[in-house]
Homo-oligomer: A and B are copies of this chain.
Amino acid sequence: MSQYQAPLNDINFNLFDVWQLDQYWQQQSELQDVIEADTAKAILDEAAKICEQQLAPFSHIADAVGAQLKDGKVTLPEHYYTAYASLSEGGWTGLSGDPDYGGMGMPKALSMMVDEMLCSADIAFSLYPGLTAGACVALLQHADEITKNQYLPKLYSGEWSGTMCLTEAHAGSDLGIMRTSARPATDDSYQISGSKIFITAGEHDLTSNIVHLVLAKLPDAPAGSKGISLFLVPKFLLNEQGEPVTRNGVTVGSIEHKMGINGSATCVLNFDNATGYLIGEPHRGLACMFTMMNYERLSMGSQGLGAAERAYQNALSYAKDRLQGRTTTKDPNKADAIIGHADVRRMLLNIKALNEAGRTFATWVASLLDKAKYDNCQLSAQRANLLTPITKAFMTDRGLEACVAAQQVFGGHGYIKEWGMEQLVRDVRIAQIYEGTNGIQAADFMLRKVAVDHGAVLKALLSDISIEITSAPNNTSVALQRAISGLIQHTDIVLQTDLKVMSQNACDYLDAVAYVLYGYMWYRNVKALDSNKHSADFINAKQQCAHWYCHKVLPRVEGLLATIAGDGAALFALEDVQF
């Protein structure tokens, strides 16, 4: 069975040493009374306890039992109920919620760290509070005051949960062709009819109500994605006291049998003249939903990192315990721990170097979102916008890479269910797919985040990094500076190509940018080391890891840039029938 211990040491290092967010929090009027370093540490400690004690030890049971549909009701693994109650009671479900509606008002940088721990403990479970938090973000931004007062306090408190209902059987990435309809009723509500698939947490009895955010088309809707509106469709309609009493016309048709995240109820939901309430402007639903999507995309990054962290911890522990082969002993009847084998050690160090950079990256992006929110800082908003698809795609791709490598460390035992490593591979795999596949993230990055302004936001960022690492160099600077130069040069080449060429290179380009930015994360890690605060072991680990990253991981960029530079004319010269 796989173990988990929250990496609080590295989390605190990122929050308080690398990004010095406690200092930032103290400068913000909205935050200075809410949070300081000690509060944050206490919150993280408590979250760690729930993850380590109530979720992680039972995640294999959640996998085996799964969500079960019987007679139109979905039941979840037993320990989900108690763990969810603990989360709700502690106020975790409204951690970054707006205090005006009962949220705790904590910064995103903090909730991102809690997300990582929840995902390490059980990705499937993390989706229930995760979707709820996303729904709250959309409601807070787009709903009217009455709706916010009716729904947000119950969602923040964990009494109710949320979903996002986008996909239909024939309309996934292409929402413009969806068919779910919304007819105006006699009051100010709408009658929603249609069928949605892949609805995470679509039906369950964890909470007394479920608040579905549903995309549908009004009768007068323009064609395509500009004709989609957003509706709030509660499982139970509220009475005048705001209590959920009347069953609405939404039912679960079936639940999917999936590769992993079996504890998550992935539902087909049928809306049959269900009562819904318009959120935001008519036909502007996709923009509203993107508020939620962008929130979720960051959470996907936490899923990649969370699984990778747990995979690493277990592979490391196995590599120290498992005796095979002789690296130091001469006795042919004895064997040494496999961590001494260069290839095993290499796999572990690759995972460690990518995970820790990923944690710094996640904290960075979250802190940029905080700065955009609390300071209305446009530069931070632009950069968070630029980095969101990287957080989603790169962190989940590296998540699979880490879980597969960690499974490999176990040899044959990695393939056996009992050890838990294969579940991590199965669970993390979904994060590359949902909330917009990683290919769609890459296209978004290449076209809408980089090409759209001829690379201006990206280049300004790279220029700032370049100045920073030159003015205060450390053991990462030379390799990093070289990588940045190569990246800028290739960016100029890429930006001169046409749409099809940019699209076919988008995934490799996103990866190249990400590896360079992870190099910057290692620069920041090393820069934050302080022999007065950190142990000699911690300092050496960070410095060696930074060195490893810059010399044995960052060179992957050369392969990516060479691939991007390669002539891809064959892609469309090969006709469909010739595939």
Contacts and interface: CB of A to CB of B under 8 A. Distances in A.
A415 B545 contact: no
A128 interface: no
A223 B335 CA distance: 12
Contacts of A407: 429
A247 interface: no
A150 B530 CA distance: 73
Contact of A548 (B176, B503, B571): B571
Interface string A331-363: 111110101111111111100100000000000
B568 A552 contact: yes
Q: Which of the listed residues A172, A198, A439 has the most CB atoms from chain B within 10 Å of its own CB?
A: A439
B579 A439 contact: no
A216 to B, nearest CB: 16
Nearest to A197: B412
Nearest to A475: B570
Chain A interface SS verdict (over half): helix
Q: Which of the listed residues A167, A258, A566, A570 has the most CB atoms from chain B within 10 Å of its own CB?
A: A570
The range of chain A's interface size is: 35 or more
B540 A578 contact: yes
A349 B173 contact: no
A534 interface: no
Interface string A545-574: 101100111011111101101111111111
Contacts of A167: 412
A429 B425 contact: yes
B173 A574 contact: no
Contact of A332 (B176, B426, B438, B501): B176
B571 A345 contact: yes
A382 interface: no
A129 B260 CA distance: 31
B333 A177 contact: yes
Contacts of A422: 258-259, 426, 429
A489 to B, nearest CB: 15
B332 A172 contact: no
Contact of A223 (B260, B332, B416, B563): B332
A501 B343 CA distance: 10
5 contacts: A173-B324, A177-B323, A258-B417, A537-B577, A557-B559
A-B interface, 8 closest residue pairs, ranked by CB to CB distance from nearest: A559-B559, A224-B332, A555-B562, A342-B503, A259-B422, A551-B566, A174-B324, A544-B574
Interface of A: 167, 170-174, 176-177, 197-198, 223-226, 256-260, 316, 320, 323-325, 331-335, 337, 339-349, 352, 400, 404, 407-408, 411-412, 414-418, 422, 425-426, 429-430, 432-434, 437-439, 442-443, 500-501, 503-504, 506-507, 537-538, 540-541, 544-545, 547-548, 551-553, 555-560, 562-563, 565-579
